[in-house]
Structure 1
């Protein structure tokens, strides 16, 4: 049966054999597979009943590397020119130099790092093999680049991330990959006029990195700003060469085509851009200076409909069930869920600390937490990550999981994590009364946000008194 991307298991094995030692992308080789060797079940690898003969039961213990020190740094002959090394041609019998002091130091550092982070045996063996490949011919002053080690390690199925972590720890690693922000910014600046492109690039980098009198913004803010105004910048690039040619009428004409929150966000982004250009002296007058954002009227927050059960049924994994309980019961934001530590969960005293606020641990969240902790103990028994939620990547590290991992289970569902959180806060206002102080104390809401929830609950309660219960 064709189970993976239209190919069967034996096709993948045949393509892997054809591409062995050449490339890591199997798609071209899969397209060329016209036949493959068949075998009868249980004959290609005979298995005898009982324990293996002549072998010990269980796996031998991985021996600890000998203690090592940082190699002494003396006089080093500078390189006449920079030559890139090809680690893909490494052969262990011919090129391995296990007595290299840099390799001994790296193996010792990898052993300490693996013990601290709880690396399993497989990861330790992979990292040790990778270090032998990379550091057998290493000398003082050499730098190992990401672009050099990636092809060699990926083709052998070794962990590039863990190896780079060890190399960076001993100070010989250089990450020469292009920044994801630079690649994204380059794609967004494509098509803009040269003069407009220069000002927009300077403004976007200032937002992300900050400056002498400007605090750096979150990268999501930069994404939102530039995505919001890119279309109008492309339109202006067809008529103008510089931002100084844009007038107030041009800005008003574009703002007239958008309404509500889109108008507000567009004007805020344009105002930030033109303010930066005016400060740099590339424009003479700010065309957005006399345009008012206006007061946006907030509508009444509505409770979720009865189709929440479909979203609940879509959550099957223990981690996703715990995330669902934290959002639906404790109104925790995805960022707060990612930051939760194991110490924040006090099962004995039935307490949970969410962003510094102590909350009682209800039965639903308690059962979801116990199921997740049991799954975590069986899946990653040696992980040293202090965060409550981990996955197969972060189990070998100490950082939190990504925001995509938190919200992936409910993506595309009617009741997302954000809607569940909003519904829980609205429910608190409906059950305990529309008191902004109570909402701010329970969920840590800002003043205006708590007032908005209280006003929405008051409007819904008045509607219920007039027309009956709200569905």
Structure 2
């Protein structure tokens, strides 16, 4: 039903006969009653109106009044059968008309007043300094049973502060209207009964928010800013260790796990390595460890001959890397006292000759260009082929690294001229970014639907997925661009260092590869050559 005009005159409801300014031919209550019940003949007043259990709304109100006059709060069948007359009333005032004198109304759900709170029972000879001792375990919260109509406490101080922080964080990070609304609903679920001194654990909030279909990560951001979040989930590195080291015998697994944790987290006088280092090291020697687990119970049983037998079947860089990883593992075990003698001592990895850098074929480059079907992929291809940007450099680019007006681009800290091809690719991507995420606060040039709500870069997988399985990946395109520069301007390491900012040893390697290619081509096209 629509609103009521202020100039509309009073009238009588055609169903309950109430007098007042009505939105239509009947009052709002009768309109709702009509939507819920069908037409019929009332058993008391004999009118053809909407009825519920044989009686119209007017007779139900009269029976309710008769019931309340004798102290009852619900209408029973004897009161309905005893209705032979109706007391008329003004529209939207029947609650006040039917109110029993002396009783205080409590909202719209009844007329019974609140019972006085019981007096606290004070035991005799009670110690005034006594306090309830803490429980020996930490009781959890079951937020999945939350009912907003019954449990929501919007006046809770912690909830009020969290909702304000959520709105501020949404404005600073450019969250959309629906994301901000979901975060606000999640905060109401988690903090309606919060006491102000407890932290919400991840294992408690995650099932509840999944049950209600609300965002978890954005809610965790708000709780973290307020220091109300405790991350008690199992770290991803621990889950990875359990999955990879599960088949190993307990003795070998203990030593390998300790070594991997030192690589990942660092230790006394040992710096933490790149997060991908531990995974790469374990993948190289895991087949050997699985074979040793069938024969040995501990790494101290592995001999020098076992290491030689395991690596003799390997060739080239695979053998070199495997021996280096085994040396790292057994040196750690010897340092911590897990083994008595290092079996990799005096086993020298073979010197691996560096492979010759060769240029990509034109068809490989065209294949990579055709695989770049999105503006983000096309921009990545342009940055790799024109500016020799590595995938890490592409992910790290920020909006202020691109100066369209002055036609400048900063790649890996070096200022480069912005050519027409790169400029068009950047403008195409900026149009997509502006239309899809107009309110994002992420300053990175490349973003997706996940990082648009954060402040960090996209993942390496997201930007390289389109080129998986191709010969011309982003890294190969980056290498081909530097080799092309050496072939075009001559094999000069100083020129390569000045243009791309690479290390002098890398520049020398590219210069040697270019010199070798140029000399081979010269010999092939020399008139005296066969």
Q: Is the TM value for this pair above 0.5?
A: yes
1:276 maps onto 2:276 in alignment:
no
Q: 1:338 and 1:363 mapped to 2: Cα distance?
A: 21
| Matching of residues 345-384 of structure 1 within 5 Å | 345-384=402-441
| Matching of residues 63-74 of structure 1 within 5 Å | none
2:220 aligned counterpart, secondary structure: helix
Q: 1:328 and 1:159 mapped to 2: Cα distance?
A: 39
Deviation sequence 1:228-279 (CA, Å, 0-9, x none): 0011111112222221221211111122111111111101110100110110
| Matching of residues 53-452 of structure 1 within 5 Å | 78=134, 81-307=137-363, 308-452=365-509
Aligned to 2:521: 464
Deviation sequence 1:310-338 (CA, Å, 0-9, x none): 22112121111111111111111111111
Q: 1:324 and 1:405 mapped to 2: Cα distance?
A: 14
Q: 1:80 and 1:197 mapped to 2: Cα distance?
A: 33
**CA distance 1:86–1:298, shift in 2 (3 Å):** same
User: How far does residue 76 in structure 1 lie from its aligned partner after superposition?
Assistant: 11
Q: 1:229 and 1:126 mapped to 2: Cα distance?
A: 46
Q: 2:525 and 2:163 mapped to 1: Cα distance?
A: 72
Instruction: Give yes or no for contact 1:300–1:459 (8 Å, CA) kept in 2.
Output: no
Q: 1:248 and 1:443 mapped to 2: Cα distance?
A: 45
Provide the aligned C-alpha RMSD in A.
1.7
Instruction: Give yes or no for contact 1:384–1:398 (8 Å, CA) kept in 2.
Output: yes
1:408 aligned counterpart, secondary structure: helix
Deviation sequence 1:180-212 (CA, Å, 0-9, x none): 111111122122222211111110000000011
| Matching of residues 42-53 of structure 1 within 5 Å | none
User: How far does residue 80 in structure 1 lie from its aligned partner after superposition?
Assistant: 6.1
Instruction: Give yes or no for contact 2:144–2:212 (8 Å, CA) kept in 1.
Output: no
Q: 1:79 and 1:367 mapped to 2: Cα distance?
A: 65
Instruction: Give yes or no for contact 1:76–1:140 (8 Å, CA) kept in 2.
Output: no
Q: 1:468 and 1:345 mapped to 2: Cα distance?
A: 44
Regions of 4+ moved over 6 Å: none
Deviation sequence 1:99-120 (CA, Å, 0-9, x none): 0011001001111111111111
2:467 aligned counterpart, secondary structure: coil
Q: 1:82 and 1:419 mapped to 2: Cα distance?
A: 54
More contact order relative to length (CA 8 Å, sep ≥ 6): 1
**CA distance 1:168–1:76, shift in 2 (3 Å):** farther
Bigger Cα Rg: 2
Q: 1:305 and 1:468 mapped to 2: Cα distance?
A: 20
Give the count of matched residue pairs. Answer: 395
Instruction: Give yes or no for contact 1:440–1:446 (8 Å, CA) kept in 2.
Output: yes
